[in-house]
Structure 1
Amino acid sequence: MGVAIGIFGSAGRMGRAIADAIADAGAVLAGGVEAGGDPLSLGHRADVLVDFSVPSALEAHLHAARTTGTPIVIGTTGLSMTHQALIDAAAADVAVLQTGNTSLGVTLLGILVREAAARLGSDWDIEIVEMHHRHKVDAPSGTALLLGEAAAKGRGTSLGEVRVDSRVGLTGARCEGTIGFASLRGGSVIGDHSVIFAGEGERIELSHIGQDRSIFARGAVRAALWLVGQPAGRYRMGDVLGL
């Protein structure tokens, strides 16, 4: 019998893609829960949980994971600092992997961005551009923020200290050391992300293009299978790849 994986947000685009990826990986679908469902029941049936629902449901899903002792992968984006604190608290009892993007390619891109930021001086400006489908409700995307955090870490600072979300009107000259974000929405774009390092007379662009939602689903399932058996704590996608 394979590992039983339960899905929060099973009826959404990602939930359906994850269900397909579970079958392809030889694991077992323990079931799914949508709004109004019973998270505790799913927690009892599953060996590991995967959450791609909505931020407002996260507290209930973490409660179910802690109550049943079931590890959980969180791919839901648009999380607040309050949500992050809830995740930290849950990680004291169960294994929790939270990420803005479950793609293995994006995970590696984050490492490259961190290394580039660490080696280039502060006179190299960093801008992050992302584009998603017209239905996405949060901006910047979780992946863009993940990449911004990687760049900030490479420079020995926190993203909160250097983040610039928008420029409208007479904003003045760009402040050295800041990390800018631009969000585009339209059509059916799965997810495109570029991190631009702009220096005097030269520019480096590190990019990832998501062509099929299955890349995120396969990564989520790989993360879920890896998380089973891990001790309580907070994990990231880089841990799954040994990075």
Structure 2
Amino acid sequence: MKVGIFGANGRMGRVLIEALQECENTVLTLATVRDDSPWVGMNVGDVAGVGKQTVVCTGISKIRGDDVQVMIDFTLPAAFEHNLNWCVRNKIPLVLGTTGLNDTQEQQLHHAASIIPIVFAANYSVGVNVMLSLVKQAARALGNTADIEISEAHHRFKQDAPSGTAMAIGRVIAETLERNLNECAVYGREGKSPVRDPKTIGFATVRAGDIVGEHTALFADMGERLEITHKASSRLTFAKGAVRAANWLEHKKPGLYSMSDVLGLAEN
């Protein structure tokens, strides 16, 4: 599988280079950076610190789609539209890990998925996606009696809050309980507030140091509580999941897929 990376010099881009190097079924054939980036022309192995490779970083306006079978994008929302449109024009499947998309961008994503196959996930960790399945089970059993809180922690550089993964956990719970997350989510508490509404889903966010990613879904009832937690210690976990999704996309029909589809966790 010939794979390309948007934003190869980013934190996730560099780890993706490493993950692709370790995967026997894939080869990195395209790595993009901004046209004005000092990384243009640099060997991707030097960018990621994994030794010389055969590919150099190419300015985003110079890339071609004739030597790549799937693209992986973990860049910021500002680059989303350009990258998505390039994939659509060139009929290249996409593995998308960009979080913090607005409503218009989500509509663009759904339209693009009618033309090309796309895997879109807030988190590509296998463990996190198993966690989402477990959270759904917990919501079915405990959600109508327990108070529900979601906490997450990430490194100081992460811009969106709550994280895309925390929001994905919240959506799974809300959908399972037939609630509207936009109406029941509480994103912060300060000072004196009314007694907790049992239908709300609370979110707490930490940004500190070099925390890779930690997420906990708490179901607290009178006399007992259940906590479902995932902790990532390396971004390589996410990168390997994205590479797995890239391989899975081969020969898929246009559509918007999730990591649950990739892992066989999706319910029929």
1:88-167 aligned at under 5 Å gives the runs: 88-167=110-189
Per-residue CA deviations over 1:108-138 (Å, capped at 9, x if unaligned) read 0001001110121422111000001111111
Once the two structures are aligned, what percentage of the paired residues are identical?
Answer: 41
1:83 equivalent among 97, 101, 105: 105
Aligned to 2:31: 32
Q: Which consecutive residues of structure 1, in runs of 5 or more, have no partner in the other structure?
A: none
Amino acid at match of 1:150: V
Name the CA shift for 1:41/1:65 in 2 (closer, same or farther; >3 Å). same
Please name the residue that 1:19 is paired with.
17
Shift, 1:222, TM fit: 0.2
Q: CA RMSD in A?
A: 1.3
Tell me by how many angstroms 1:229 deviates: 1.1
Kept in 2: contact 1:39–1:64 (CA 8 A):
no
Q: 2:5 aligns with which of 4, 7, 12?
A: 7
Cα 1:88–1:45, aligned 2, differ >3 Å: closer, same or farther? same
Moved over 4 A (4+): none
Q: Matches of 1:43 and 1:199 in 2, distance apart?
A: 54
Matched residues in 1 for 2:184 and 2:165: separation?
17
TM-score by length of 1: 0.95
CA distance 1:39–1:7, shift in 2 (3 Å): farther
Matching residue within 217, 225, 228 for 1:203: 225
1:128–1:38 distance in 2 versus 1, CA, 3 Å: same
SS at match of 2:182: helix
Total equivalences in the alignment: 241
> 2: distance between equivalents of 1:67 and 1:198?
49
Q: Which moved more, 1:171-180 or 1:110-119?
A: 171-180
Q: Distance in 1 between matches of 2:101 and 2:82?
A: 14
Is the CA contact 1:128–1:181 (under 8 Å) kept in the aligned structure 2? yes
Greater displacement, 152-161 / 203-212: 152-161
Q: 1:223 to 1:42 in 2, by over 3 A?
A: farther
